Amino acid sequence: MHTPHSNGANTQAKTSPAHPTPSRIAFLGGFPPRLCGIATFTHDLCEAVAHAAPATMCFAGAVNDQAKAYPYPPRVRFELAQQDLHSYRSAADFLNFSNADALCIQHEFGIYGGPAGSHLLALLKEVRMPVITTLHTILSQPDANQRLVMDELIGRSDRLVVMAAKGRDILRETYAAPADKIAIIPHGIPDMPLRDSESYKAQFGVAGRAVLLTFGLLGPGKGIEHAIQALPAIVARHPNVVYLILGATHPHLVATEGESYRLSLKRLAEDLGVKAHVIFHKDFVSLDDLKEFIGATDVYVTPYLNEAQITSGTLAYVFGAGKAVVSTPYWHAQEILKDGCGTLVPFRDPPAIAEGVCQFLDNPEVLRETQIRAHAIGRDWIWPAVAKCYLDCFEDACSEHRAAPRAAFADWTLASRPNDLPMQKLDHVLRMSDGTGIFQHATFTVPNFHEGYSIDDNARAFILCILLDQVGAQPKEDQQLDRIATSYLAFLTAAFNPDTNRFRNFMSHGRQWLEDSGSEDSHGRALWALGTGAGRSRNTGQQKLSRALFDGGLPIVESFSSPRAWTFALLGVHEYLRRFPDQPEVLAARTALTTKLIDLWHGFATTDWPWFELSVTYDNARLCQALILSGRHMPHPEALDIGLTALRWLVALQTTPEDHFRPIGSDGFYHKNGKRANYDQQPVEAQAMVSASLEAFTATGDDLWSREAKRAFEWFLGRNDRGQALYDSSSGGCRDGLHHDRLSENQGAESTLAFHLALAEMKAADHALTAPTGLI
């Protein structure tokens, strides 16, 4: 192997005696017909290993980034949905039950769900076979989430495959990865003969012309505009030059921006007078067609803008096929093109690109020598050679894994696995929403226009959208979250009355406000939603607007008399401080509102009535939740103790002898020394108990609280006084209440949102069980 340029100077982590080839090898990543570089790589590696070891069964798992299934070939034996945490555990079950001897994972942060792709860790915690992880992206300056995920990924992988020595260096220096885990194996390439480019050109209508090529999925990070800006200078010296830009726009970019980047490149070429010298081919071409395009190339140009790109499959393909390359100095290019094997030019420097290209076109002998040298080096990169390196890596990993299996599996059993939860089906939320906001009520499953809208429900709906964006909605709904979140936030914005600094609550179907100011509770709930938008939203516009409205509506809350208004506003304060932890006015409000709740407790709580008021009414667990949050974050030990004490009493009060959740009924509530109302039971009470219990679990680490959250959530699913599910899986809605003799048949916004908010929080908690501690 050619040491300086093979990327394989250390193709195995360490030398060891020969070991039996695994009989069943699984590969996980994207897979064609999905259009992305990882999918192509997973396919090519799987096929190359299968060809190199015909007695080995090679099969693949595909990560889906869309709701509609891809028509995968038979090689794909299982699939998982990118944003569905449960599907990662199901994939782990499949791999374990199929007795795979090794699992080869293709890793890049963007192809797995959860913060920084952390859903993958749920699978890694459960698989029993050795894991060989190919790292397509290695960040020298990861953010907090990326660092946590990488540390866990390194710990749970038996081998880490990198494609360049720079990748090994970053793993050692940034992540302290063990040297004996790291294998350097080059990016595989198809085997192409070294032939004169002229023999390929006629089929593309460029016979006799000097051909420049850039290929791959298009996006702004490719820097193609700088190559086009270099063309006038190149054309001045070589009028017969033509620049082929080959590749589809990245599907995710098309979904958000359409073809704006490609169109901007076309306009640029026209403005510079080189339109006749640029050919765009926007299809994602087959491997056979790609070989023909590469064959026709004289000089390959990679004007990429990100220095930290550790791997470029397109660069490997073209260089290994024996083509001269002019490239910006991203890490992979630096490593491949050193020692005169190509030309490196500064980032964003069209004159340097022009000069680099012309140096080759001006000197045919230099061009030919460079091509011959590149092709010779590329013989170590063809897929049969790369497959052999991977097989050696698999064999060593399997041998060491058998000798010393990872201890992590000892306490990870099916019994300890997080909850199986329903799918987040948002059909009814969408049905209840229009361009104004979400309707309050429904008759059966039909929106009731007569009752109009409320800020309470739009606040809840906005919070739901933010949470779903974090935990991952189902793909088909994910595309609509931003749209409906915008409507809900627009409603909150319109509800704010700057003359009074108060929020209105009720609006008619005709978009007429029915009051000048809403209740104190509705004002507090609006602040809760806006604090969530300010503290969590990834949409910059929504974040800024939420913050501005929150800042306008917060000061008046200290004059309120409603404990729940204080509570809801305090929950919003804690959300706001997630992103803006040093705002004096908001910190002061947190102290003031926490003190109000503590004083309320001291005014009413006794040994036999450890509560904040003389009545237990509605959204009861929220008072406990708010103080637990203050106790944990301020920190404030008394607030934490009061919150937990009150929540324990409320749990005991709302747990039946049959061990299910029975919330205080709204048909009379529960007054001290009186008889408690058992009906009508409301979904918001179950949701509040889920939230407070999960917060108590986070604060204490006591499994008691995760069990209480589960008990309260199962009330929605039929573990209740009537043994009937309030959640309607056919509509995606939730019934409005549980009566002594029946369930309500109406599915309004409050109840439906209560279920989906509880489900989102349960999913987030499940993810926390598999994600690294500290993941945001």
Token pair for residue 405? 């299996």
DSSP result, 54-121: TTSEEEEEEEE-SSSPP---TTEEEEEETT-HHHHHHHHHHHHHTT-SEEEEEE-GGGS-SGGGTTHH
The stretch 364-388 carries a mean pLDDT of 96
pLDDT tens, 574-628? Answer: 999 999 999 999 999 999 999 999 999 999 999 999 999 999 999 999 999 999 9
Q: Which of 7-11, 71-75, 731-735 has the lowest mean pLDDT?
A: 7-11
pLDDT for position 770: 67
Reported as half-sphere exposure (CB side, CA atoms, 13 A), residue 518 has a value of 27
Average per-residue pLDDT for the chain: 92
Taking alpha carbons only, the member of 188, 238, 226, 189 closest to residue 328 is 226
Taking alpha carbons only, the member of 362, 364, 293, 367 closest to residue 323 is 367
Neighbours of 749 (CB within 10 A): 30
Name the percent of the chain lying above pLDDT 90: 82
474: pLDDT confidence band, cut at 50, 70 and 90? low
Residues 6+ apart with CB under 8 A from 6: 186, 377, 380, 381
pLDDT for position 86: 85
The stretch 288-307 carries a mean pLDDT of 94
Reported as half-sphere exposure (CB side, CA atoms, 13 A), residue 765 has a value of 30
The stretch 451-455 carries a mean pLDDT of 97
pLDDT tens, 669-693? Answer: 999 999 999 999 999 999 999 999 9
16: pLDDT confidence band, cut at 50, 70 and 90? very low
Token pair for residue 727? 């959640």
pLDDT tens, 728-774? Answer: 999 999 999 999 999 999 999 999 999 999 999 998 888 776 666 66
473: pLDDT confidence band, cut at 50, 70 and 90? low
Reported as half-sphere exposure (CB side, CA atoms, 13 A), residue 34 has a value of 27
Q: Answer yes or no: are the C-beta atoms of 275 and 195 closer than 8 Å.
A: no
pLDDT tens, 394-445? Answer: 999 999 886 665 544 444 444 455 667 888 899 999 999 999 999 999 999 9
Strands 76-81 and 57-64: parallel
Q: Is the pLDDT of residue 270 over 60?
A: yes
pLDDT for position 286: 81
Q: Which of 141-145, 201-205, 427-431 has the lowest mean pLDDT?
A: 141-145
Sheet hosting strand 343-344, strand order edge to edge? 278-281, 241-246, 210-215, 299-302, 324-327, 343-344
What dihedral do alpha carbons 128, 133, 139, 145 form, nearest 10°?
A: -20
Three-class secondary structure of residue 198 per DSSP: helix
In angstroms, the CA 764 to CA 320 distance is 45
In angstroms, the CA 247 to CA 317 distance is 14
